Amino acid sequence: MRHKVILDPAFRRMEEIFHPDDLARLHAVCDVVWGKDEPMPPELIDRECLDAFAIVTTRWRYGELAGLPKLRAILEVGGRHPSSAVIDYDYCRANGIRVLSCAPAFGPMVAEMALGMAIDAAREISAGHDAFRAGSEKYLWDGNVDTFTLYGETVGFIGFGGLAQCLKPPIAPFGCHLLAYDPWRTDQFLKDQGADPVGLDDLLSRARVIFVLAIPSTENRAQIGIRELALIRRDAVFVLMSRSHVVDFEALTTALVEGRFRAAIGVFPQEPMPADHPIRRAPNVVLSAHRAGSIVGDSNLIGRMVVDDLEAMAQDLPPWHMQVAEPEIVARLP
């Protein structure tokens, strides 16, 4: 018997997340319902979900879990596990419903961008490019007064989850010394990963390159504030990739406008940012509108993970590719 899968990925588009080959694999093992860019109409939801085995979605709008007796998997394709206010994870566990997230799919894209922006800031690529356009470029040693390479540097990861795992391989060839701060991981885990577990203050004051890779939680809002920013080395590069939630952005802006350290920023507290926001004029900052995880083609990894796991479950095997909801973690999601 084939499983029924509700495929309702709006706000994402089908072609954004599914390579045709993966979609064909999915149709080969499951009965797919809907599968369009538009949100599934409520009346269709009412009719089709009753005997659905799995629902692929970015936002829960399928009613009470108790009304979906055949449901065994919720595959979220938005980018992170829903809060426990939205999904009753205890009910899911008690009733054999897996809640899976596509979050790791964004890791490679964002890791490449994080590395690229870190090199850009350390080597002053954007700044040097602007100078060249303006006719004020400097050659050889004159062009490298404050630059540095990543080779052998001390690098700090704030947050050591899926994104950190994706950044480790492209950072590895540079032979950096890794510091890690992550209250969701034990020291022993971080050591096993090849990083020195340190406190946040220690990391901020020691690292030459600081990658902010933590996801938002109920505990880390604006965790990096005025006091913490003051610990950062003058010769450091602060790379803010995920998420601005973790930083007191106005305090960061003030520090950068004053030229306290260098930065590369890929996420913002408002998007778009106000036209007159002072971060736009801060020196020694590389700015990128939130777009590190939105590359057509690479985003097909979302669909591949979804199909890999539905294929496994269709064979009565455990899923293996998407991220499983751990109770201790989802309890801390905002």
Residues 119-138 that bind its own copies (CB under 8 A): 119-120, 123, 125-126, 128-133, 135, 137-138
Residues 3 to 22 in contact with its own copies, rule: CB under 8 A: 16
Residues 187 to 226 in contact with its own copies, rule: CB under 8 A: 188-189, 192
Residues 26 to 85 in contact with its own copies, rule: CB under 8 A: none
Q: What is the nearest approach in angstroms of its own copies to the Cβ of residue 136?
A: 10
**173 belongs to the binding site for its own copies (CB under 8 A):** yes
Q: Which is nearer to its own copies, 45 or 198 (CB)?
A: 198
CA atoms of 90 and 311, how far apart (whole Å): 25
Q: Residue 205: how many CB atoms within 10 A of its CB?
A: 16
Q: Residue 122: how many CB atoms within 10 A of its CB?
A: 22
CA atoms of 134 and 141, how far apart (whole Å): 19
Q: Which of 6, 17, 103, 117 binds its own copies (CB under 8 A)?
A: 117
Q: What is the nearest approach in angstroms of its own copies to the Cβ of residue 218?
A: 13
Residues 246 to 275 in contact with its own copies, rule: CB under 8 A: 271-273, 275
Contact stretch for its own copies (CB under 8 A) within 35-43, 211-219, 226-234, 278-286: 278-286
- CB contact set of 38 (below 8 Å; sequence gap of 6+): 10
CA atoms of 56 and 307, how far apart (whole Å): 10
**23 belongs to the binding site for its own copies (CB under 8 A):** no
**186 belongs to the binding site for its own copies (CB under 8 A):** yes
Amino acid in position 252: L
Give the phi and the psi of residue 103 in degrees, each rounded to 5: -45, -45
- Structure-block tokens of residue 201: 């203050």
CA atoms of 195 and 122, how far apart (whole Å): 22
